[in-house]
Homo-oligomer: A and B are copies of this chain.
């Protein structure tokens, strides 16, 4: 089988290694690798097929185009053209899928080719294929996941070594886990895009990532971690989406996760995806969410599926977008911190409003854990307290139930 690869970054290197490593088992020939600057890559494997001209790839009459350029453009245009030319495509590009997934999947169906994107969620973890193929008989009603290794690494460092957010971010950047501009990771955008792909496939409705409630980890303080420990919890950036009577609710946000929850065990660069199906019950997938070889392994699996003619449909991407409820409307617990508080007043209000409210600290601030009928009830109380100037500033972190 003849393939063309667009891009020669980290994941592409991993893919090339795996293809070379399995040469005796699978006859896959790399016909072209598109790079911006051929000179820069001349010392690398397969230097003879490097090109900076996309036309060279299309000229080679390849069976599969693997897009690993990242970004929206020109990835989108290249994939569109490939599909229109009836070439199967593989991509790891969650940003592009989040924007143009519906259009590309629809186009692929029209042209009788396949678009595969296992590596776009959970790096090397086989999760999309099991979800699409192995769980097909199930109605899936919820997903809970850690989908971003960078933030999980930062939170693990803060928990294990009592670092501040800035210190942990710096370490992540020094080690190459976080980018110079870490916004997409730390603000939850990356996890949101992945959650939207998972939710779209699981709920069979098109769910747009920006419709989730997205909150980053950049405001997490050592004091939050301290409280979490006191409560027998860790703080994790969790992506969660649920469907109930056709209504979707979802977020990516830092939450408190109890130490007895499997999600709390997933540290550093590891990811977990927990899916709940009506027949199957809860099933979890855990592994490295990023990295050259792990992600390369997922891309390679997609290429092999095409090689072996194991294809599947993902109609969900073509469906109409549904609205997503951003607030937790069921019973929930939260840690609330009030800075410069009028303690007695606030405690009274909290105790009046919630069936359970526990004060866990009152030094220069007041920290309480409340048991609320919904997130709105918590927000209302905080607003009332702030409006009356009973504190200077309030923040909350939900607990995963």
Residues of A whose CB lies within 8 Å of any CB of B are 14, 17-19, 21-22, 118, 124-126, 129-130, 133-138, 260, 262, 265, 277-288, 291, 293-294, 296-298, 300-301, 304-305, 308-312
Contacts and interface: CB of A to CB of B under 8 A. Distances in A.
Contacts of A14: 279
Given A21-B279, A282-B287, 20 more contacts: A17-B279, A18-B137, A22-B137, A124-B280, A129-B130, A129-B134, A133-B308, A137-B300, A138-B297, A278-B293, A279-B293, A279-B296, A280-B297, A281-B291, A283-B287, A284-B286, A285-B285, A308-B312, A309-B309, A310-B312
Contacts of A280: 124, 287-288, 293-294, 297
Given A283-B125, A283-B285, A285-B283, A304 B133 contact: yes
17 contacts: A18-B279, A126-B283, A129-B134, A134-B298, A134-B301, A137-B296, A137-B300, A137-B301, A279-B296, A281-B287, A283-B286, A284-B284, A284-B286, A284-B287, A285-B286, A308-B312, A310-B312
A336 to B, nearest CB: 29
Contacts of A297: 134-135, 137-138, 277, 279-280
Contacts of A291: 281
A88 to B, nearest CB: 15
A285 B277 CA distance: 15
Contacts of A137: 18-19, 21-22, 296-297, 300-301, 304
Contacts of A129: 129-130, 133-134
In the A-B complex, list the 3 residue pairs whose CB atoms are closest, starting with the nearest: A126-B134, A283-B287, A126-B130
A291 B279 CA distance: 10
B310 A279 contact: no
Contacts of A301: 133-137
A90 to B, nearest CB: 13
A31 B340 CA distance: 73
A309 B312 CA distance: 10
A319 to B, nearest CB: 14
Contacts of A126: 130, 133-135, 283
The residue among A279, A286, A291, A300 with the most chain B CB atoms within 10 A of its own CB is A279
